[in-house]
């Protein structure tokens, strides 16, 4: 049924559009995911999302404790509709619940912060398993809860007077480096077919005008055949 729906929707798309989507899907990953804890500057928040899309990271987990995560349309330029955004904002402090949820999904928590036992970006072992990269708030970095829950700590080596990078820059550097490293590895980092198909259908829905009516027509046809 799913494959039939895909073929039905593909018929109303141009070949160029279909090929573009399929090529991008082929580069998407959930082996790496990004976690943003209490980011409050819209430009930073939006720049990280744009980097995730640009480097193929499909899921972004957004923790809202004191600060609401707002998106700047001029920065993301539409990229957010191609990502899956997961928000955690039901409690006063949502960090522990978010990280425990990710651990249940098989992710190890890698906090991006200088720490006594940290590893350099280039030395992070991606073979150790699926990785959730946690970036903290602009002013104070990751919280104590993240420090308690983290499996590893990661730092970007610095060689100048600046001790750290702006969060949006740090995220872009980290995501680019690790996705590049992942694609050169033997790790099975691409989306499994069922997830890829689901995402493809979702993207087609967002790309095709009046897609809801087309999908309704598809199911009516299937019902007639039955």
pLDDT in tens, 128-172: 999 999 999 887 889 999 999 999 999 998 899 888 888 999 999
Pairing type for strands 108-112 and 119-120 reads unpaired
Q: pLDDT confidence of 222, banded at 50, 70, 90?
A: confident
Same-domain pairing of 45 and 125 = yes
User: Are both 202 and 131 inside the same structural domain?
Assistant: no
- Please determine, for residue 116, whether its predicted confidence score (pLDDT) is greater than 80: no
1 within domain boundaries: no
Residue of 62, 54, 137, 152 lying closest to 98 (CA atoms): 62
Do 73 and 101 lie in a common domain?
yes
Asked whether residue 50 is domain-assigned, the answer is yes
Q: Is residue 125 part of a domain?
A: yes
Q: Is residue 165 part of an annotated ligand binding site?
A: yes
User: Is it the case that residue 125 has pLDDT exceeding 60?
Assistant: yes
pLDDT for residue 226:
40
Total number of domains in the chain: 2
Residues 36 and 62 in one domain: yes
59 part of a folded domain: yes
* Average pLDDT value for residue range 113-119: 76
Q: How far apart are CA 25 and CA 103, in angstroms?
A: 25
Query: Are both 174 and 212 inside the same structural domain?
Result: no
Verify that 183 and 195 share a domain, yes or no.
Answer: no
Q: Are residues 217 and 158 in the same domain?
A: no
Same domain, 184 and 195: no
Give the residue numbers spanning the domain of 56: 29-190
Question: Residue 93: pLDDT above 60?
Answer: yes
Has 156 been labeled as part of a binding site? yes
Is residue 146 domain-shared with residue 203, that is, in the same domain? no
CATH number (domain holding residue 142): 3.40.1280.10
Do residues 123 and 207 share a domain?
Answer: no
The pLDDT assigned to 225 comes to 47
- Any domain includes 24: no
Pick the range with the lowest mean pLDDT from 36-40, 80-84, 190-194, 216-220. 216-220
Q: Is residue 20 part of a domain?
A: no
Domain-embedded: residue 17: no
123 and 52 in a single domain? The answer is yes
| Separation CA 87–CA 49 (nearest Å) | 13
Pairwise CA distance, residues 92 & 100, whole Å: 16
Pairing mode, if any, of strands 59-63 and 119-120?
unpaired
213 in the same domain as 137: no
Ligand-binding annotation for 154, yes or no, is: no
Residue 57 within any structural domain of the chain: yes
* Distance, CA of 223 to chain centre: 36
């Amino acid at each position: 049924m799913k494959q039939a729906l895909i073929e039905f929707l593909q018929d109303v798309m141009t070949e160029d559009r279909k090929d573009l989507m399929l090529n991008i899907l082929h580069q998407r990953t959930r082996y790496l995911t990004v976690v943003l804890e209490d980011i409050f500057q819209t430009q930073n928040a939006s720049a990280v999302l744009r980097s995730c899309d640009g480097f193929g990271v499909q899921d972004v987990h957004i923790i809202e404790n004191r600060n609401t995560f707002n998106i700047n349309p001029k920065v993301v330029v539409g990229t957010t509709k191609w990502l899956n955004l997961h928000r955690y904002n039901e409690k006063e402090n949502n960090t522990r619940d978010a990280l425990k949820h990710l651990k249940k999904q098989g992710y190890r928590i890698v906090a991006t912060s200088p720490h006594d036992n940290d590893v350099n970006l280039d030395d992070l072992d991606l073979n150790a398993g699926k990785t959730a990269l946690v970036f903290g708030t602009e002013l104070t970095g990751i919280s104590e809860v993240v420090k308690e829950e983290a499996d590893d700590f990661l730092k970007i080596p610095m060689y100048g007077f600046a001790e750290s990078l702006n969060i949006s820059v740090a995220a872009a550097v980290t995501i680019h480096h690790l996705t590049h490293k992942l694609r050169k590895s033997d790790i099975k980092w691409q989306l499994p077919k069922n997830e890829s198909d689901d995402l493809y259908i979702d993207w087609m829905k967002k790309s095709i005008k009046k897609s809801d009516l087309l999908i309704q027509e598809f199911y009516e046809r299937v019902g007639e055949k039955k």
